[in-house]
Structure 1
Amino acid sequence: MDFVIITLNNWTILAMASAELITSILKENLYKIFGSPSHEERLKHLARLWSPDALFIDPLGVFKTHEEVSNAVSGLQQEGWVFSELSEVQVTSPPNSEIGVARLRWGYGKPGEEPELTGLDVISVKDGKVERLYTFLDSKPGN
């Protein structure tokens, strides 16, 4: 069963991780981590949304720490470009699964124009945190 562990005043509460939670995490990951130009803001959101040992895997490599993920994002960003959702989030794991899995198609480019780069993010979420992010690219800038 997929759940979030919440500790409050020395009480531990188990809460179900819903499709809505997984959807929220995936969208926040796109906009607040990959869309943020600030290294400090990315690290803050990575600490909140990702487990400490989460992995980001894309065609450029495997990134094993929050610092590595944030640095990888810095290397990918283009000034003035923004992310957009090209599909609805699709939660692909069963409701009672221990690990939630979802995917989102996205575009990246200048606002109001066709995206220069498109791709697909697939995340796995356990205990309310991203465990893995796999990014598949459809196109590359200049192609």
Structure 2
Amino acid sequence: MASAELITSILKENLYEVFGSTSHEDRLKNLARLWSPDAIFIDPMGIFKTHEEVSGAIAGLQQDGWVFSELGDVQVTSPPDSEISVAMLRWGYGKPGETPEVTGLDVISIKDGKVERLYTFLDGKAGN
């Protein structure tokens, strides 16, 4: 079982170094480091089953100059004697220093220290 500190680190690195990266090559390196080879990303746009597909989906989300920010603490659930942990993080996406244009929630499952599944839920436009 991964520690709460490791799980928190993985979730934050995923937000900033995978989803926040504008470089396909950097995203792929970080996906290989943080995600299991058979991890799956599920969000309103679809289901993405390879690191290439995930990186391509992220590229489609990129807005020039926009950044991700944490909108709360990471919450971790690690049942005793379980090899799988689950964590969630609320986030915002928008221009630096401004109210995020989009907000959402990531829920991940971690197994053997790697992302196994990522589920993204969108709240929509902030303030709506």
TM range (shorter): over 0.9
Picking from 112, 123, 127, the partner of 1:138 is: 123
Secondary structure, aligned partner of 1:134 = strand
Give the % identical residues.
82
Q: Distance in 1 between matches of 2:48 and 2:125?
A: 20
Out of 5, 9, 15, the position equivalent to 1:30 is: 15
Q: How many residues align?
A: 127
Map 1:1-143 onto structure 2 (within 5 A).
Answer: 2=1, 17-140=2-125
Shift of 1:97: 2.0
TM-score, normalising length: structure 2: 0.95
Q: CA RMSD in A?
A: 1.2
Q: Determine the C-alpha separation between the residues in 2 that align with 1:71 and 1:92.
A: 30
> TM-score with structure 1 length normalisation?
0.86
Letter in 2 for 1:71: G
Letter of the structure 2 residue corresponding to residue 35 of structure 1: G
Query: Which stretches in structure 1 are left out of the alignment for 5+ residues?
Result: 3-16
Q: Residue type matched to 2:117 in 1?
A: R
Contiguous gaps of at least 5 residues in structure 2: none
Distance in 1, matches of 2:72 and 2:38, equals 28
Aligned to 1:6: none
